Structure 1
Amino acid sequence: MSLRHIDPKQRGFLIVNSHPAGAAAAVSRMWDRIPPRADGSAPVVLLLGHSAGYGLAALLTGLRRHGIRGVGVAYEGAETERRTASAGWYRTAEAARLAAEAGCDFAFVNTDAFSAKGKDEVLALVERRFGKVDHLIYSLAAPRRTDPETGTVHHSVIKPLGAPYEAPALDFSDGRPKVTSVRLEAGTEDEKHATEQVMGGGDWRLWVQALAERGLLAAGFSTVALTYIGSELTSPIYRQGTIGAAKEHLEGTAGQLNAGVLAGRGRARAVVTGAAVTQASSAIPSIALYTTFLRTVLGEDFRTTDQQAAELWDQLLGNTPLVTDAEGRVRLDGWELDARVQDQVRALWADPQAGLDRSAAGAEWFMGQIRELYGWGLDGVDYDRAVETSIAWPEA
């Protein structure tokens, strides 16, 4: 037992401690939003990056609506004397509880999914407990990756390519939203390459190959990796920058898998999601301001991650037709890139300070979403009481 009274340690968009009851409440709230089981398919799923963002939404939606079985993989920090466990740790514990309550056979592994050891551990569990895999969902995000073949440690960077980037950004450093300006120098070819090695399709390819080599691909196997395109407003720092290069690498990997190891045995696709407030996206300059304006324009029509995950599952399982583009990517972002929506966002962006003045509610919503990522600011949670912080990782 480890009862603690904890307060958020926050600096801007960075919060270094998590509230276990709040993190659990966030998971339960998403679970309750998801319509109950739509079919009895119960496919076997390997979900890489289950503890946050779209990965968490895909997990909860898959469990709640389709009774998925399988294994989720994340790499989360345990509690220490100085810090709570990570929010993803606490979210996983709550997700495991809900899965068990719903009668779903789903296991959770805390390991470095980039490593050969991690792959061996996970695939041994899959083989022993579930047999062949119907769907692999790749939703990993990390700042660095060690190449398992060379031992080289690659670090991703968030930089433009070709020219410096200067644009308005949202600043919460003093607790109140304000517009500032951000400038980043152009990334180098080495930095671009390193970011591709971390966030591109190299590790996705290794996972699919490992499944194939172990004979774990079910008939009709499918795999998807999550990507993002976004608006022309953020394109210089995202789609045309180092991260965008990595996403193009990821998307290109789908075609390589289809022509190679999956030929005649399955299908790989990239899935273009819409905007979301995640720990990863909040670190990208200007994305916070853009998302604030997008929320201001859309209001409650802003599509949540679980709403998008529901669309993805229905398409993966054949309940609705696939919505794809000319490159074969599944598109879940039509609501964001609608021309009328983007015109209104562009009008706010043209005068960022005036846009923020009109978007006060959107800015507060954005900051509230950031706090919820770490379990803070949720209705019904008593933050004045001491809370149990030593929560075990679910046994696999």
Structure 2
Amino acid sequence: MPDAYELAPEEQRWCAELRALAAGPLRTLADAGPPGEVNRPLVAALGELGLLERVFPSDGPAVRALDLCLLRESLARACTEAETALALQGLGACPVAQAGTEEQRARWLPGVRAGRAVAAFALSEPGAGSDAGALALTAARDGAGWRLTGEKTWISNAPAADVYTVFARTTADAGSRGVTAFLVPADRPGLTGEPLRMLSPHPIGSLRFDAVPVSPDDVLGEPDAGFGVAMRTLNLFRPSVGAFAVGMAQAALDASVDWAGRREAFGGPLKDLQSVGHRLAEMATRTEAARLLVYAAACAYDRGAPDVAKRSAMAKLFATETAQWVVDSAVQLHGARALQEGHPLEHLYREVRAPRIYEGATEVQRGIIARELYR
């Protein structure tokens, strides 16, 4: 594995190839897709190009956290829609890859890997977002199996996914120790959903479970051990959320450097104004610092370091907060044109807000870091 602070030459070439794909064929598919809905041609292209194979290798070891970060950062710099489609496939099916039986993996992973099947991760509920241990969706015993009753919300790829990794309470009053992970196909009777409209159009919605039947063959891992399934997935993906943020920050920085060099004001290019130059310098420094935190956290995960939770929380916290500031600064430097619908920065301005909330809000990350300091 390369040093956390320097990518190997082949990794640098791979990132350049990914950026070219994102700016070319993936950007074309993203622009043609329906906003706010699952873009199946885009997902299929991710499979055809072998990018989902990197997340779910058909042979060999599981995906490296660093590779996942490089994928997400590189795609985000030119096509956030492609980045999001890849990340949601990963998040939805990673529990199957990590905890699924041979039969479960054989049934679902080839389709997800090829981009034919769309996966989703169904954890959040109306009353259980940041407090994932407070899940209220119940799994009541029904013979050898269970019946799922309740609601999920803010579920990416819902209600259009083909399969959901669903976390439900199987033991009352047991907190996080009474949750089981289930693999639920979308065509199960009693499972319905509706889309939600967001600030930035994303495929996201709510799900309702009306006594949805699940069997022991649908359990991912062991009964009452589902919280661990969720946390293992989130521990892998948390640094890569930071990588997504770094990709957006870098895109905003690149646009600002170009604009400040071309835009004439007060007798010369904007870059010659000290206030603008200093702002660009701060944008570049914060972006690079965020990138290094993300790479270091990913490498720590890959080598099994004991402080992964703290490093991952630091990476997500700093990178997502930094990206918000960098994109906002870029909008300020570009002026009103950056607020016009269709401008790349207008798109980034809407996209950059959500990562500070999902997969553990900024406040949750601070709590994790503070707790880890005393271990």
TM-score of the superposed pair, with normalisation by structure 2: 0.31
Q: Which has the higher contact order (CA 8 A, sep 6+)?
A: 1
Point out the structure with the larger helix share.
2
